[in-house]
């Protein structure tokens, strides 16, 4: 289980892990309305290395990228929930449109993203490959998404 850290604290933890010869994996996303698809993805990402650092989009970033009414769960609550999960070593909240700043600071050995990026450009890929990091694409658990949960809730009779 992990902890919610500032970026500078996460860099210090990364340095400690690297000094012990450990492999650092990084991934990022919104993780709004935590569900089994999220857990499955995080378990697969963590299995790629020894420690999993997770960047989560802050409230402003989530609202900008996902639209009005999002996030459902505020960033600080999402960070606390995610840090409590066994696969997660550290959670960092960020409000940038991409994870470039976190990748530049953390320089993870492996950057994990969802399998949907097999068919579309991954903006962070050049930054990861520039320092010799690897990009790993992880397939999502089918039929599990926050958007689907929101639609089910909206369809409930009042």
Q: List the chain domain ranges.
A: 3-155
Q: Smallest Cα–Cα separation from 88: which of 56, 124, 61? A: 56
pLDDT at position 59 is 96
Q: Which helix (H) or strand (E) holds 151?
A: helix 146-155
Selection from 30-34, 128-132, 137-141, 154-158 with the highest mean pLDDT: 128-132
- Which bin fits 63, alpha (ψ -120 to 50), beta or left (φ > 0)? alpha
Peptide bond into 35 cis (omega under 30): no
pTM (two decimals):
0.92
Q: Residue 37 — pLDDT band, cuts 50, 70, 90?
A: very high
Q: Please spell the DSSP secondary structure of 55-80, one letter per residue.
A: EEE-HHHHHHHH-TT--SS-HHHHHH
Residue 142: the pLDDT is: 77
- Which tens digit of pLDDT belongs to each residue from 68-126? 988 999 999 999 999 999 999 999 999 998 999 999 999 999 999 998 888 899 999 99
CA atoms within 13 A on the CB side of 28: 25
Higher pLDDT, 142 or 32: 32
Cα–Cα distance list, 127 to 59, 78, 79, 117 (Å): 25, 27, 25, 16
Which of 47, 28, 39, 147 has its CA nearest to residue 84? Answer: 39
CATH topology of domain 3-155: Rossmann fold (3.40.50)
């Amino acid at each position: 289980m992990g902890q919610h850290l500032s970026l500078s604290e996460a860099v210090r933890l990364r340095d400690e892990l690297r000094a012990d010869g450990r492999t650092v994996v990084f991934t990022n996303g919104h993780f709004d309305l935590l569900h089994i698809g999220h857990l499955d993805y995080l378990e697969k990402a963590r299995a790629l290395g020894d420690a999993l650092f997770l960047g989560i989009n802050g409230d402003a970033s989530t609202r900008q990228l996902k639209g009005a009414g999002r996030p459902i769960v505020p960033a600080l609550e999402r960070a606390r929930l995610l840090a409590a999960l066994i696969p997660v070593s550290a959670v960092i909240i960020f409000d940038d449109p991409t994870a470039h700043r976190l990748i530049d600071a953390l320089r993870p050995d492996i950057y994990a993203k969802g399998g949907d990026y097999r068919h579309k450009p991954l903006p962070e890929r050049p930054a990861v490959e520039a320092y010799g990091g690897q990009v790993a694409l992880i397939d999502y658990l089918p039929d599990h998404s926050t958007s689907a949960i929101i639609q089910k809730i909206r369809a409930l009779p009042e």
